[in-house]
Amino acid sequence: MTEDEPLVGIDRIRAAARTLAGVTVRTPLVPFGRPEDRRYLKAESLQPIGAFKLRGAYVAIASLGPEARARGVITYSSGNHAQGVARAARLLGTPAVVVMPGDAPRIKIDRVRADGAEIVVVGPSSDERRRVAEAIAAERGLSIIPPFDDDRIIAGQGTCGLEIAEDLPDLAAVLVPIGGGGLASGVAAAVRALCPAARIVGVEPELAADARDSLREGRIVEWPAELVGRTMAG
């Protein structure tokens, strides 16, 4: 790969869409507001797990070879990615371990367990979740399925943008939430490739604006989860 080549391009996103055929839902664009404004919401709540995270999780696990799949996968997440990995692993016949914080919503924990994943409970720190997952992966020979910073995850989440661009070719702008950045990266790659004139706007909470700060400073700026939690609370 050269410096000028994108990490994830439209060909990889289209390949991910083929992998997801029959697994995820091609969710509709639901109009809202005044008809003349032509605004739409991408109804990812209609996915089998209720969120877009199944897209990236399934693509990532499906990309593993037979031996890696047989050994199993592990991830770290407090909710939707955990559900995505658990469901994808079950569909692909792969053992899964999910490291979750003890304060994760009970419904998320129950759904992960219902899909057959082993749950390892840790404290509330996102850094602790990652460290524990990495340690277990090394000990058991498991493949890590990261929540966002991974080209397979980005390609899978990018299928959301691919559907938007295909269903609305005269797209003027797309607003995409920024959490870890997997969805935003994938949607941006797909939309820029197919609708080059469209404006792409990343949206994040003002009190958790690490993406804004990273762009401003030209380096990765991390807001500790504990600081974000305290700031949002008060």
Q: What is the pLDDT along the chain (234 residues), one digit of tens a residue?
A: 445 555 899 999 999 999 999 999 999 999 998 888 889 999 999 999 999 999 999 999 999 999 999 999 999 998 899 999 999 999 999 999 999 999 999 999 999 999 999 999 999 888 899 999 999 999 999 999 999 989 999 999 999 999 999 999 999 999 999 988 899 999 999 999 999 999 999 999 888 888 888 888 888 888 765 544 443 333
How far, in Å, CA of 219 to CA of 201, rounded?
A: 19
Q: Are 140 and 72 in contact (CB under 8 A)?
A: yes
DSSP 100-124: EETTS-HHHHHHHHHTT-EEEEE-S
Helix (H, G, I), strand (E, B) or coil at 73: strand
Orientation angle between helical segments 10-20 and 151-167, nearest 10 degrees: 90
pTM of the predicted model, to two decimals? 0.91
Q: Are 98 and 111 in contact (CB under 8 A)?
A: no
Strands 39-42 and 73-76 come out as: unpaired
pLDDT, tens digit (0-9, with 9 covering 90-100), for 49-97: 999 999 999 999 999 999 999 999 999 998 899 999 999 999 999 999 9
How far, in Å, CA of 171 to CA of 40, rounded?
A: 10
3-state helix, strand, coil in the chain (%, to 5): 50, 15, 35
Residue 203 amino acid letter: V
Q: What is the CA radius of gyration of the chain?
A: 18
